[in-house]
Amino acid sequence: MVKFILRRIVMMIPQLFILSVLIFLLAKAMPGDALTGQLANNPKMDAQTLAEMREKLGLNDPLYVQYTRWIKNLLHGDLGMSYVHQQPVTDLLAGRMWNTILLSVCILVLTYAIAVPLGVISGRWQDSWADKLIVGYSYVSFATPLFIFALIMLFLFGFKLGWFPTGGSVDIQLEEGTWEYYISKFNHLLLPSLSGALISTVGIIQYLRSEIIDTKVKDFVRTARAKGVPEAKIYSRHILRNSFLPIAAFLGYEITGLIGGSVFLESIFSYPGIGQLFLQSIMQRDYSVVTALVMISGLATLVGTLLSDIILSAVDPRIRIE
Amino acid sequence: MLKQSVLQIEHLRVSFRIHEEYYAAVDDVSLTVHENEVLAIVGESGCGKSALALSIIGLHPPERTKLEGAVMFKGNNLLTQSVQALNQIRGKDIGMIFQDPLTALNPLMTVGKQIEESMDYHTTLSASEKRKRTLELLERVGIPNPAQTYDRYPHELSGGMRQRVVIAIAIACNPAVIIADEPTTALDVTIQAQIIRLLKDLQQQMNTGIILITHDLGVVAEMADRVAVMYAGEIVELADVYTLFTRPLHPYTRSLLQSVPSTQTSRETLHVIQGIVPPLTKLPRTGCRFRARISWMDESTHESHPILREVEPNHWVRCTCYQHFYFPDGGERA
């Protein structure tokens, strides 16, 4: 097991290298650079100063020189300076990363809390009115675009009913560490995470439902019935455990999403997280931030798939990682 | 040989719903199982023998199945019992052995836990007593390293070993009746013989009545005391095993026996029964159900309403066509 994990981690090195080259080239291929916009917006800027600044920042060096400089700094934990915010990318990310992780964990917990019971009901009482209702909901939610749904939620519960704050991650007047601060933080999280969770349940519901429907007619379930196992135990000990396997494997990939954040949700709820920063940075050609973010989510994806494999081998004895 | 009867099946009819209509897969079957007796039910695939076996302890999905008649066990009709009441009998008084040991065991549970599970609901044994009994059971069904096997998962065992585990589950609570649904079909021939030997030994030690569902006449000859031959949901012949093999009467029984290859049969003369068992929705419901597959026989030899008759003591045959039956190619092996 340890050997397997080590081997997977070693295998990540070339994967990350290829990823870094790709990201670097793609970022460079974007039209313009961080200074292009400045010319139009800033009357004091002239072409002469711009050219000097480009030279100073090393933007005129050959690509491979720029790449080696970038990767060297990256390995030292230095993600570079944000051209727009004029501060180190690591500082810029630190606070937002926590916000994003907090939001994503909330979404994840809510999604599973809603989807798992619904999926179980749906699969166990297949074709009942409850099942039809749940399947109906999951399809409608699947067809609803997140940005429209989130806007409706924001409009309805944020502005019309005023139940939830409409933006930010915490009430700025509150002092960090007090009870009110944490309650306010939680309050700010609720609406965006509920909006995200309510329409991302379809995968889990449908997976769980069809797994349960498949599993409940399997031979080993009949064996359990022939042993005289009561119906409730048939479900908890035999059907559900087997049906949860693919969902458990899913979980690893979901963790990837924790770091990537949600571009739409954070933008709509003006929630200061990674997703919102990502969108802004692309708009402003702040490519040191963009490349750092893509690198981080690339790493998260690789870690996520590894986690999936580890989770699956932990819950399914047939999958032994040697 | 006056044996106590342990289970009586009376006029059992098992119907399944297909497109809003019920079709009987088992039609008016009556059988008695005695203690320390192996009652074999033989027939081709689709003749209703597995449907019969599963209906005894109510394992068909209730929403699609209609059960009529009675299955009497210890003075109760099992067909009218609630699931809760049936759960007291399943695994305790009636054990079941399934056909395919590859799929009959839960892949996520250790073998030991799966055997113990029936004790969880039918006994008041402590955890250590259950473990001890499970190890004894594993030993009894011929598993070489009980203590190691206890913690194994099904996929770590061979097919034969898994079938032994399935048998251990069935006998865990000393049942009065064991229903064995094709217990050797999914196994290698060499393993088949071992499993038959094991079942026979267990039956004699435990004084159990076994209902053996099979299509393998070799298994019948080795294990059974009495044999019921089923065709299209009905019993067409019922006799003790010696009589059935030496004096088979019904055309279906004779055709089945004729189809068994022997060392004297050359490849060209191997008998094949014409046609197939008709699907449930197209089953003939009147007259002799086998007549379509012995089409060379004159229609007048069949009864219009064939019944099971005792033609000699303890030898029952359905329809009158057996009196005139012959094989079109003339020969029948002695």
User: Would you kindly state where each structural domain of chain B is located, as residue ranges?
Assistant: 253-334
Q: Is B83 on the interface with A (CB under 8 A)?
A: yes
* Residue given tokens 């088979």 in the structure block: B248
Nearest to B239 by CA among B150, B321, B314, B332: B314
Q: Is B65 on the interface with A (CB under 8 A)?
A: no
- Give tens-digit pLDDT for B267-301: 566 778 888 888 888 887 788 888 888 888 877 88
Mean pLDDT of chain B, nearest integer: 88
Q: Is B82 on the interface with A (CB under 8 A)?
A: no
Residues of A in Cβ contact (< 8 Å) with B121: 227-230
Shortest alpha-carbon distance between residue B325 and chain A (Å): 41
Residues of B in Cβ contact (< 8 Å) with A322: none
Please state the rounded mean pLDDT for residues B139-163: 91
- Give tens-digit pLDDT for B216-271: 888 899 889 999 999 988 899 999 999 999 999 888 888 888 888 777 656 566 77
pLDDT reported for residue A89: 82
Buried b (16+ CB within 10 A) or exposed e, A18-42: ebbeebbeebeeeeebbbebbeeee
Residue to mutate among B57, B60, B87, with most A CBs inside 10 A, is: B87
What chain A holds in terms of domains, given with CATH numbers, is: 89-315 (1.10.3720.10)
Measured CA to CA, the distance from residue A133 to residue A152 in angstroms comes to 22
Measured CA to CA, the distance from residue A98 to residue A77 in angstroms comes to 18
Shortest alpha-carbon distance between residue B177 and chain A (Å): 13
Check CB contact under 8 Å for B107 and A226.
no
Work out whether the CA dihedral A265, A271, A277, A282 comes out positive or negative. positive
Q: Is B286 on the interface with A (CB under 8 A)?
A: no
Work out whether the CA dihedral B296, B302, B306, B307 comes out positive or negative. negative
pLDDT reported for residue A33: 64
Contact criterion met (CB below 8 Å) for A119 and A131:
no
pLDDT reported for residue B177: 93
Contact criterion met (CB below 8 Å) for B152 and B106:
no
Check CB contact under 8 Å for B87 and A230.
yes
Q: Is A238 on the interface with B (CB under 8 A)?
A: yes
pLDDT reported for residue A311: 82
Measured CA to CA, the distance from residue B143 to residue A298 in angstroms comes to 50
Q: Is A7 on the interface with B (CB under 8 A)?
A: no
pLDDT reported for residue A41: 63
Shortest alpha-carbon distance between residue A260 and chain B (Å): 34
Confidence category of residue B190, pLDDT binned at 50, 70, 90: confident
pLDDT reported for residue A224: 93
pLDDT reported for residue A130: 94
Residues of B in Cβ contact (< 8 Å) with A237: 106, 109, 117
Residue to mutate among A124, A125, A227, A312, with most B CBs inside 10 A, is: A227
Residues of A in Cβ contact (< 8 Å) with B109: 237-238
Residues of B in Cβ contact (< 8 Å) with A229: 87, 91, 117-118, 121
pLDDT reported for residue B230: 92
Residue to mutate among B96, B103, B117, B121, with most A CBs inside 10 A, is: B117
Helix B159-171, helix A219-226: angle, nearest 10: 30
User: What Å distances lie between residue A29 and A33, A74, B10, B136, B294, CA to CA?
Assistant: 10, 20, 83, 72, 81
pTM for the predicted model, two decimal places: 0.80
- Give tens-digit pLDDT for B56-108: 998 988 888 999 999 999 889 999 999 899 999 999 999 999 988 889 999 99
Task: For B60, name the nearest residue in chain A, comparing CA atoms only.
Answer: A222
Q: In this model, does residue B334 exceed pLDDT 60?
A: no
Residues of A in Cβ contact (< 8 Å) with B104: 219-220, 222-223
- Give tens-digit pLDDT for B13-60: 999 998 888 988 898 899 999 989 999 999 888 888 889 999 999 898
pLDDT reported for residue A258: 63
pLDDT reported for residue A121: 94
Q: Is A224 on the interface with B (CB under 8 A)?
A: yes
Nearest to B118 among A227, A241, A317 (CB): A227
Check CB contact under 8 Å for A227 and B107.
no
Q: Is A320 on the interface with B (CB under 8 A)?
A: no
CA angle B92, B93, B98 (to 5 degrees): 75
**pLDDT, tens digit only, all 322 positions of chain A:** 778 788 888 888 898 889 888 888 887 777 766 666 555 566 666 777 777 777 777 777 788 888 888 888 888 877 777 777 778 888 888 878 888 888 888 888 898 999 999 999 999 998 899 999 999 999 998 888 888 888 888 888 888 887 877 777 777 677 777 777 778 878 888 888 888 888 888 888 999 999 999 999 899 999 999 999 998 999 989 999 899 888 887 787 777 766 665 778 888 888 888 888 888 888 877 777 888 888 888 888 888 888 888 888 888 888 766 5
pLDDT reported for residue B52: 92
Task: For B115, name the nearest residue in chain A, comparing CA atoms only.
Answer: A227
Residues of A in Cβ contact (< 8 Å) with B122: 228
Q: Is A223 on the interface with B (CB under 8 A)?
A: yes
